[in-house]
Amino acid sequence: MVDVGAKEVTLRLARAETFVQMQPDTLALILNRQVAKGDVFEVARLAGIMATKRTADLIPLCHPLGIDGVDVTLAAVGSTTVRIEATVRVHGRTGVEMEALTAVTVASLTIYDMCKAVDRTMTLGPARLLEKRGGKSGHFEAPNTNPPQH
């Protein structure tokens, strides 16, 4: 693991996104809260938050962090796509990119799990970092934030 002890504590922020593609009928079930396992967006949101806090247990060389805040949002994009975005904040010596990417990925896996009985054709991704702030390397923002075209 990289020694970050000499780094300055700063506010670090990372935003990531991913997408879940599905059949239009599947998205309609989600939006109408008719999926047998429950409210898909709320369960996936909670899964993303929980995953953020467990990133160091999942990614071998990640530092355990005392996360300051996590926001996970899910929204329908058209009739076949769910967009998931996570924003993670911490005052620390290392960034939270992996935590944000873990949040959106686990949230997407949760959607798949909750809806697989009605749609096994769902696809997940791409997942990517949208923005990173804080630390020595400064501010990064992805050049294009448009959803994938399917």
Q: Which residues are catalytic?
A: 113
Residue 1's contacts (CB-CB under 8 Å, 6 or more residues apart) are 61, 63
Rg for the chain, CA atoms, rounded: 16
Query: How far apart, in Å, are the Cα atoms of 10 and each of 64, 70, 94, 121?
Result: 16, 17, 9, 43
- Which residue, 13, 86, 12, is CA-closest to 45? 86
